[in-house]
Structure 1
């Protein structure tokens, strides 16, 4: 591994597990410098020992806006700049909407949506001052539509997707490129350590059984299989606004989009009855 003065600096939230951890490892192995942020930094101890000169870790709960602002300032100071921001931290609220408490819903959006917003706001001045930078917003292959029991997750990711498209337009004049990263079902720990579950209502037992049969027990491929795609994306001089990560996920998203278009066309006659 050769670290040079030209090595890029990554700021990665949710760096201890899943896609964030996989990209942290891949970037370090490539000779890049990384500032990894997470609520619990324990899982990064081994990496810190292995890469003492190129990895800086920061404790961070992205739901805390003041803490995000402070962490970004410290991240930018660690290596003197920020080049690539992987806005990855998140969790899952699993359960039917009727079952979810106000506290659960608000906490979920505080992390999955507002947390990403606070990070985005905090890094923009640094990237704008440089006149360059990459902002990788991790949403989901499911951000284009909801599925029963994970509706709040899909809603938060859809909100981040829409906002990021607007931000991409806002930041383009400053040389900052935004890509909405839409990963599929990787074994990231999202459905285990990253999950908050509602109290099940027996009324939804048949639907839960149907969903369990539909989803099966496959946790999906390891997230390190997705890391090379993120690394390749970061190298593109003209990156896409959106990128689906995963071959199977690509097929599923295409099917979802085709079904959406088919439904629009089926009801076009009714839509066109209004002049707007």
Structure 2
């Protein structure tokens, strides 16, 4: 049976790939983009199965209106994929107030507004699946991506809490956590802070540690996302890419060792 999907950031990257994969198999897709021309090829190919919606996810009222339009057009929304977002590259000290706020507005608040908008629809249906595009950088961190890391950590905390709150309504929540992929995230879609020379060695070390093999092939993710959407019991978290699991395993082993080493101090701080 065809599913009714609402996906943000469908102009390129993961969003467009996943929207086309869903349309190709016969699902109905409400696809959002800031520039609707980027969706013309999908509209020409898939006709009435796609509802193109111009949307800036930072606009809360527009988010609610877009969800309402999709619900009215398709009769419901089975899956929300909060994919819209971008990377802000630069040290924390370099980051301006405007850059910091805009990063959180898009990566966190835009996702929050759309989540709030779709919940009444899914509650009324008695089912739904909210898929939040997070990152392995929502579980561990890398330097010179501090605000991006923070935005994804916020998405993780929000979504884990949400999963507990809406389980009784028949609504599933999944955090999709990719490792690096060769999308526009670190290219045309990225924002760079104004550089300070003190951080150049850290940035150089960060860049030199990257190899071509570390960047996954975006097209390879579509099968995993389709399987996730079709699952009757989807996971709370799903890694994408072969580097995600070992990186997170290493990070948590390090954390556990440190917690254990300081556990006596921690327990004594309880006071009784």
Verify the 8 A CA contact 2:9 2:83 in the aligned structure 1: yes
Give unpaired runs (5+ residues) of structure 2.
none
Alignment RMSD: 1.3
Verify the 8 A CA contact 1:131 1:174 in the aligned structure 2: yes
**How is 1:85-100 mapped onto 2 (pairs within 5 angstroms)?**
85-100=80-95
**How is 1:18-57 mapped onto 2 (pairs within 5 angstroms)?**
18-57=13-52
Moved over 6 A (4+): none
Report the alpha carbon displacement of residue 53 of structure 1 after superposing the two structures with TM.
1.9
Instruction: Determine the C-alpha separation between the residues in 2 that align with 1:189 and 1:101.
Output: 22
- TM-score, normalisation: structure 2: 0.96
Tell me the residue number matched to 2:61. 66
Which of 150, 161, 172 aligns to 1:177? It is 172
Instruction: Determine the C-alpha separation between the residues in 2 that align with 1:32 and 1:255.
Output: 38
Verify the 8 A CA contact 1:38 1:61 in the aligned structure 2: yes
Higher helix share: 2
Instruction: Determine the C-alpha separation between the residues in 1 that align with 2:186 and 2:179.
Output: 13
Tell me the residue number matched to 1:3. none
Secondary structure of the structure 2 residue equivalent to 1:10: strand
Distance 1:193 1:66, change over 3 A: same
Please give the per-residue CA displacement for 1:214-265, whole angstroms capped at 9, x wherever unaligned. Answer: 1246672221201111110111111111111112212211111211112211
Give unpaired runs (5+ residues) of structure 1.
1-5
Report the alpha carbon displacement of residue 135 of structure 1 after superposing the two structures with TM.
0.5
Instruction: Determine the C-alpha separation between the residues in 2 that align with 1:234 and 1:24.
Output: 12
Tell me the residue number matched to 1:273. 268
Which of 132, 144, 167 aligns to 1:149? It is 144
Report the alpha carbon displacement of residue 63 of structure 1 after superposing the two structures with TM.
0.7
Instruction: Determine the C-alpha separation between the residues in 2 that align with 1:232 and 1:64.
Output: 31
Report the alpha carbon displacement of residue 170 of structure 1 after superposing the two structures with TM.
1.0
Instruction: Determine the C-alpha separation between the residues in 1 that align with 2:187 and 2:230.
Output: 32
Please give the per-residue CA displacement for 1:63-84, whole angstroms capped at 9, x wherever unaligned. Answer: 1111111111111112111001
Which of 109, 119, 127 aligns to 1:114? It is 109
Instruction: Determine the C-alpha separation between the residues in 1 that align with 2:140 and 2:222.
Output: 25
Count of matched residue positions in the alignment of Structure 1 and Structure 2: 271
Secondary structure of the structure 1 residue equivalent to 2:202: helix
Tell me the residue number matched to 2:204. 209
Verify the 8 A CA contact 1:83 1:132 in the aligned structure 2: yes
Instruction: Determine the C-alpha separation between the residues in 1 that align with 2:112 and 2:168.
Output: 20
Tell me the residue number matched to 1:139. 134
Tell me the residue number matched to 2:251. 256
Secondary structure of the structure 1 residue equivalent to 2:174: strand
Secondary structure of the structure 1 residue equivalent to 2:243: helix
- TM-score, normalisation: structure 1: 0.95
